[in-house]
Amino acid sequence: MSQYDVQADDLRKTYPTGRGKPPVHALDGLSFTVEPGTVYGLLGPNGAGKSTTVKILATLSRADSGTATVAGVSVSADPDAVRHRIGLVSQKPSSDPMATGRENLVLAARIQGLNRSDARDRAGWLLARFGIADAADRLVKTWSGGMARKLDVAIGLVHRPRVLFLDEPTTGLDPEARAELWAEIGRMTGEENLTVLLTTHYLDEADRLAHRLAIVDQGRVAVEGTPDRLKAELRGDVLHVELEDEAAALRASAAVESLAGLSAVLRDGSSVRARSEAGARVVPAVFACLSERGIPVVSATVARPSLDDVYLRYAGRSFASTDAPEAVAS
Amino acid sequence: MSALITHSTYLSMRSVKALVRQPLFLVITLIQPMIWLLLFGKLFESVVRIPGFGSGSGSFLEFLTPGVIAMTALFSAMWAGTVYIADMQRGVMARLLASPVRRGAMMNGTLAYQSLTSLVQTVIVLVVAVIAGARFDGGVVGVVVTLVSACLLTVICAALSNAIALMARQQEALIGISQFLSLPMTFLSSAIMDPSLAPGWIRTCARYNPLDWAVVASRETLLGSPDWSLVWPRLAALAGLAVVMAALATRTFGAYQRSV
């Protein structure tokens, strides 16, 4: 029996891409562990391997190599036992649009082995809990996206699973619906003594929900820890200077690299980021240095480090950027 | 085993409820058979007068009815896989596969639902044929054999459609392949024409065509004084193929999961 509710050890998975093309290494030695009763976030851009990880842990897919246990059970040796202990909320809506919300919940509960009256009670309780009881007996196809997503999470919880997988739970929701769902997920994990594995490419979502998180990049864990610790590792403030274009940014990063009080200078597209112990006091020096060389500044900000900075630091590129930037110095 | 049955029941009830909410869908699937039955029944009325056609007695409508019933079963069942593809495009398939539901129950649920639909359609086609003037001497035995053969043909074709859905994973591909199979299966059979008037190779094809098995079993018993040596082997072949197809289709869940 594992002391962890989720344990992934050196998972590897390769997808063939067709003749002549190199295969895609979706997972390339991914490992992490999740303590019981906590929310663990897998954070990374599309294609980092988050969803592949969830599919393997939820018994939908098999790893080429490596081992994984969920709720103490090996996913490859005994997938049936795992399926009784998990709930899966996949990226896409997972309710039946031609059934009512209540019917969806009752069917999911019956499939998981609850008897008729327990299934009805649990469905009614979850509908009330998620604030969707008013719509319970309407067909789901008439529901809003936010309500349907709450139903998806409720369906994942209907059999009181030990581990809940939330694969990008708020993608495509408007900000209000996201905030509501976050609040609900937070409350439910506290009340149901649940372990949650959350994947997201929203930094604020990971920051808000996860007790610990791993930044996943190119199929492996780039860095792992609590959101606060990861942010604290980036000492001081983050200086972010926006330049006119990439060429200007290259010249700027070379220019400010040697300035006292600045460290970890990174160029990303047409912007330059650096860390500073001294916070705002370094800004005039940076401006002076750049104007001396005739490099115009579009904007400059100083802020506490965000998870985006953590991501940039460990994955070597920003979430927002699609091209691969280069690290100038560290 | 009991979980397999209860889960199959839950999942087929899900589809039945959806159908009850959209009864129009059932009506639409019956438009085509009605055109075949009433239009072609009239258009080719006189083919029964070709020497050597059928047993020589009865109207073309009576000859055609078992053919239209089998075609209806075929064409409806070939759409079965579209439910799986809709489930894949939502997260329903993933959720079910990550739950304790057996793959066999997921298959049986849709096959049971399709069979039920086929029973309703068969009864409606029979009633319309009788109203249009057809008389079937085969009585209850004929109706029962017709219902059974339509159901078995439905299971075979729905299992095939589900298997194609799990492998192709695209609505367009499924519909394309289904259309590609449906028309040859219809015309390489005795559904609308007596094969004794057709070239020999068509008769040979028909002998291996499950649609023809259903048509022959149904026609023999519906029209009265059946030759049971023609009926039993075809019913047995339909039943055997239905079991094999359902089992093979259930295995294609593995192929689907390897692709996700």
β-pairing verdict for A86-89 and A271-276: unpaired
Cβ of A95 within 8 Å of Cβ of B100? The answer is no
Polymer length in residues for chain B: 260
Question: Which chain A residue has its CA at the smallest distance from B11's CA?
Answer: A107
C-alpha distances (whole Å) from B73 to each of A251, B62, B187 are 73, 18, 15
Q: How many CB pairs lie under 8 A apart between chains A and B? A: 77
Instruction: Tell me, yes or no, if B14 comes closer than 8 A to chain A by beta carbon.
Output: yes
Which is more confident, B251 or A172?
B251
pLDDT score of A275:
81
- Helix ranges, B22-138 (H): 23-34, 41-43, 60-77, 81-89, 92-97, 103-131
Give yes or no for residue B246 having a pLDDT over 50: yes
* Range name among A122-136, A227-241, B127-141 with the lowest pLDDT average: A227-241
CATH 3.30.70.980 domain span(s) along chain A: 234-315
Rounded CA separation A268/A184 (Å) = 36
Rounded CA separation B135/B141 (Å) = 14
Helix (H/G/I), strand (E/B), else coil: A74: strand
Give yes or no for residue B63 having a pLDDT over 70: yes
Q: What is the mean pLDDT of chain A?
A: 87
Q: Could you tell me the CATH superfamily of domain A234-315? A: YebC, transcriptional regulation domain (3.30.70.980)
C-alpha distances (whole Å) from A247 to each of A32, A271, A289, A313, A324 are 40, 10, 17, 22, 15
* Of B256, B242, B253, residue with least CA distance to B111: B242
Cβ of B97 within 8 Å of Cβ of A107? The answer is no
Asked whether A289 and A256 are in contact (CB, 8 A), the reply is yes
Structure tokens, A280: 């705002």
Structure tokens, A305: 């480090």
Structure tokens, A76: 């490859």
**Neighboring chain B residues of A55 at a CB cutoff of 8 Å:** 94, 260
Structure tokens, A253: 């990063």
Asked whether A89 and A54 are in contact (CB, 8 A), the reply is no
Q: What domain count does chain B have?
A: 1
Which is more confident, A95 or A235?
A95
β-pairing verdict for A297-303 and A262-268: unpaired
Give yes or no for residue A321 having a pLDDT over 60: no
Cβ of B90 within 8 Å of Cβ of A93? The answer is yes
Structure tokens, B244: 């094999």
The tally of CA atoms less than 13 A away on the side-chain side of residue B39 is 6
Backbone conformation region of residue B114, classed left if phi is above 0, alpha if psi is from -120 to 50, else beta? alpha
This prediction has a pTM of 0.86
**Neighboring chain A residues of B18 at a CB cutoff of 8 Å:** 96, 98-99
Contacts of B131 (CB under 8 A, 6+ apart): none
Percent of chain A having pLDDT more than 70? 94
Q: What is the mean pLDDT of chain B?
A: 93
Structure tokens, B48: 């029964």
Long-range contacts formed by A220-229: CB under 8 A, 24+ apart: A220/A27, A220/A28, A220/A29, A220/A30, A220/A49, A221/A30, A221/A31, A221/A32, A222/A314, A222/A315, A223/A310, A223/A314, A224/A32, A227/A307
Instruction: Tell me, yes or no, if A81 comes closer than 8 A to chain B by beta carbon.
Output: no
Name the residue among B6, B91, B101 with its Cβ closest to that of A93: B91
pLDDT band at A323 (very low <50, low <70, confident <90, very high): very low
Cβ of B94 within 8 Å of Cβ of A112? The answer is no
Instruction: Tell me, yes or no, if B234 comes closer than 8 A to chain A by beta carbon.
Output: no
The CATH number, out of the four listed (3.40.50.720, 3.30.390.10, 3.55.40.20, 3.40.50.300), of the domain defined by the range A6-230: 3.40.50.300
DSSP string for B8-49: HHHHHHHHHHHHHH-HHHHHHHHHHHHIIIIIIHHHTGGGGG
Rounded CA separation A290/A252 (Å) = 7
Give yes or no for residue A324 having a pLDDT over 70: no
Give yes or no for residue B249 having a pLDDT over 70: yes
Percent of chain B having pLDDT more than 90? 78
Asked whether B255 and B163 are in contact (CB, 8 A), the reply is no
Give yes or no for residue B12 having a pLDDT over 50: yes
pLDDT score of B73:
96
Domain that holds residue B102: 2-259
pLDDT score of A328:
36
pLDDT score of B57:
66
Within 10 A of A22 (CB to CB), how many other CB atoms are there? 8
Q: What is the pLDDT of residues B19-28, one digit of tens each?
A: 899 888 888 8
Cβ of B260 within 8 Å of Cβ of A98? The answer is no
Name the residue among B91, B258, B260 with its Cβ closest to that of A94: B91
Q: What is the pLDDT of residues A261-287, one digit of tens each?
A: 787 788 888 888 888 877 677 888 888
Structure tokens, B6: 């209860």
Q: Averaged over A190-201, what is the pLDDT?
A: 89
DSSP string for B209-249: -HHHHHHHHHHHHHTSS--HHHHHHHHHHHHHHHHHHHHHH
pLDDT band at A143 (very low <50, low <70, confident <90, very high): very high
pLDDT band at B109 (very low <50, low <70, confident <90, very high): very high
pLDDT score of A307:
72
**Structure-derived torsion over alpha carbons of residues A100, A105, A108, A109, reported in degrees to the nearest 10:** -140
Name the residue among A60, A80, A139 with its Cβ closest to that of B260: A60
Asked whether B36 and B68 are in contact (CB, 8 A), the reply is yes
Rounded CA separation B256/B260 (Å) = 7
